[in-house]
Amino acid sequence: MNSMNGAFVQGAEAYGRLLEVFIDGHWWVVGDYLENVGKCTKRLGANAYPHLYGGGSFGRLQGSSPEVSGYASPSKEIQARFSR
């Protein structure tokens, strides 16, 4: 034992370290939760009220066809898929 601290002082130091980690961890979790709630609320608000967030008449919910976006292209005519 290098220091002359008694059991009470060492116990108080250990409790202080535990309490510090406990409080810091809870602040971290609560901060992440509030950040995610804020992001979700903003996203829902932008979808529900696009004119308030600078969007058009449909906001961010607009889509485009696969042919225009280039992500998918039809391999054959639609009529050929359903005829036997």
User: pLDDT, tens digit, for every residue of 24-61?
Assistant: 888 889 999 999 999 988 888 888 887 777 765 554 45
In a domain, 79, yes or no: no
Residue 19 lies in a domain: yes
CA distance 12 to 6: 10
Torsion angle of the four alpha carbons 24, 28, 34, 36, in this order, in degrees rounded to the nearest 10: 180
Structural element, H or E, at residue 78 = helix 78-82
In a domain, 78, yes or no: no
User: CB count, 10 Å around CB of 55?
Assistant: 15
Residue 42: inside a domain, yes or no? Answer: yes
| More confidently predicted of 78 and 20 | 20
∠ CA(33), CA(37), CA(40), 5° rounding? 140
* pLDDT score of 73: 62
**Looking at per-residue confidence, does 15 or 68 come out higher?**
15
Q: Flag whether 46 is in a domain.
A: yes
* pLDDT of 35: 93
Domain interval for residue 42? 1-52
